[in-house]
Amino acid sequence: KKGFLPVDRAVGVLTSARHMTQMQLFGQLQRDPANRQALRAIRHSFVTLCLDLDDEPESVAEAARLAQSRNLHNRWQHASLQFVVFGNGRACTLCNFNAYVDGNPMMRGSAELQRRATGAPLASQSPATGSLPEPVELQWRVPEKLIDVALRDVEWVRDSQQATFEIPGVGKRDFEGSGVAPVSGFVLAVQTAAKELIGEHASVLQYLTMSRYCCMGLANADATTPAAKEFVDYLLQGAPDRAEALRLLREADTSQRQAYRQARRYLPFSDVLSLFMATRRGVKRLYVSALLGMSMFALKLLGQLDRKDTEIVLSHPEIFPEVPVVGRPGIRLPYVRYFGIHYQILDDRTVVTYMPSVGWKVPNKELNEKIRSAFAKIAEIARSPERVSAEKTEGRGEQPRVA
């Protein structure tokens, strides 16, 4: 029908639009009986399989970027879990934060899926484990104008630059015996790079998982402590005295660990409020909502509610060898001021995925170089004097003898 898009590139992209846009678009979409029936059929699906067989990414990093940012007509972001399979057999999992498939459960689940998939027989003569249900084709009637609205939102957050980088030679081993956590070293490197680029200390929020196996949500901790600022300033001055630099580094590490422990002790106020609202029904719920709204508005007018923008967010879920890349490469974050980072600190290297904000102008390569340089300097400070001496002695031993 004229004015309507083909079925194979229509409705999926609507689920990538902004929340308010989706409310409007799906409200219009459901006016058609065929669309209402299709939405009812797909609404409670847990897993969506996305076959992107025309793309053959050369690396896992490229596969992750394509899965997140390309061919969004062939995604259903409302699903709790999506499998994106490419033409050369590479595959990615897209996990829905709103369905509590995130953090450590996301990493552990993806690793388990990969382990089981690699152990499954692929021979055509393998016995069938059971009959598959008959597929049911969903019928959609999507006006082109709705697609155009969704695509404007998509282009607002889509990013084409390289997002995943490896920092070679700097990893967990560099911090052994130093009393400094590798995570603290990386966070301080981010804070150092941010101050170099911005000119002032930025607020860095570290996402903290509340459980190892089943999801209990996330806590946020502000890692920009006074001790962290003091160390960053000293490092940017050249850190002339190594002993003083190490002392400040350990104090910054201690202060950040304390901030993380404190954040994990309590439920966030927003969670407490949501739980309380869930216990209200009918008129009581409306009354509490109105009361909270007026209270927040009054506090804002009185200057008692100063909501600070989220500037930088960091996440480092548990590491599994089956999951080499984590994050949202190819996507800009509309809810942060500067950028977000997913990182994995391995024994001898660090893998980083950058997600700039929609207004951040610094290229990912430049940001990565700043962080790499700062992280290497911090790792050098963290190395114990005995280890540094041993490395130098070993290095001298490898030099060719001169007659």
Work out the number of other CB atoms within 10 angstroms of the CB of residue 151.
Answer: 17
The Cα-based distances of 397 to 131, 388, 389 in angstroms read 66, 14, 12
Residue 385 confidence (pLDDT): 60
Mean pLDDT on 189-212: 90
Confidence of residue 234 (pLDDT cuts 50, 70, 90): very high
Contacts of 194 (CB under 8 A, 6+ apart): 201, 202, 204, 312, 338
Residue type, 2: K
Segment 129-180, tens digit of pLDDT: 778 788 888 888 888 889 999 999 999 999 999 999 999 999 999 999 899 9
Domains of the chain by residue range: 7-116+139-157, 164-266+309-384
Mean pLDDT on 26-30: 91
Q: Is the pLDDT of residue 401 over 50?
A: no
Residue 152 confidence (pLDDT): 92
Q: Is the pLDDT of residue 12 over 50?
A: yes
In 87-223, DSSP assigns E strands to 91-95, 164-168, 204-209, 218-222
Short-list 280, 338, 266, 281, CA closest to 309: 338
Residue 264 confidence (pLDDT): 77
3-state secondary structure of 157: helix
Q: Is the pLDDT of residue 38 over 70?
A: yes
Report the CATH superfamily, name and number, of domain 164-266+309-384. Chloramphenicol acetyltransferase-like domain (3.30.559.10)
- What is the residue-averaged pLDDT of the chain? 85
Contacts of 66 (CB under 8 A, 6+ apart): 52, 55, 57, 84, 86, 330
CA separation for the pair 358, 336 (Å, rounded): 8
Q: Which residue has the higher pLDDT, 292 or 115?
A: 115
CA atoms within 13 A on the CB side of 146: 25
Report the CATH superfamily, name and number, of domain 7-116+139-157. Choline/Carnitine o-acyltransferase, domain 2 (3.30.559.70)
Long-range contacts, stretch 95-104, CB < 8 angstroms, 24+ apart: 100/215, 100/217, 101/215, 102/215, 102/218, 103/207, 103/209, 103/211, 103/215, 103/218, 103/315, 103/317, 104/209, 104/211, 104/212, 104/213, 104/215, 104/317, 104/318
Helix boundaries (H) for 266-320: 269-278, 282-301
Whose tokens are 């960053």? That residue is 232
High-pLDDT (> 70) share of the chain, %:
84
Confidence of residue 5 (pLDDT cuts 50, 70, 90): very low
Residue 230 confidence (pLDDT): 97
Mean pLDDT on 224-232: 96
Residue 126 confidence (pLDDT): 66
Q: Which residue has the higher pLDDT, 103 or 75?
A: 75
3-state secondary structure of 86: strand
CA separation for the pair 35, 184 (Å, rounded): 50
Segment 298-317, tens digit of pLDDT: 766 766 555 567 899 999 88
Whose tokens are 């897209």? That residue is 94
Confidence of residue 43 (pLDDT cuts 50, 70, 90): confident
Mean pLDDT on 270-275: 69
Q: Is the pLDDT of residue 402 over 50?
A: no
Residue 235 confidence (pLDDT): 96
Residue 131 confidence (pLDDT): 80
CA separation for the pair 243, 7 (Å, rounded): 66
Confidence of residue 24 (pLDDT cuts 50, 70, 90): very high
Residue 135 confidence (pLDDT): 84
Q: Residue 38: what are its φ and ψ, rounded to 5°? A: -65, -40
3-state secondary structure of 116: helix
CA atoms within 13 A on the CB side of 376: 10
Whether 7-116+139-157 shares its CATH topology with 164-266+309-384 is answered yes
Q: Is the pLDDT of residue 73 over 60?
A: yes
Q: Is the pLDDT of residue 205 over 60?
A: yes
Residue 101 confidence (pLDDT): 76
Residue 9 confidence (pLDDT): 61
Residue 270 confidence (pLDDT): 65
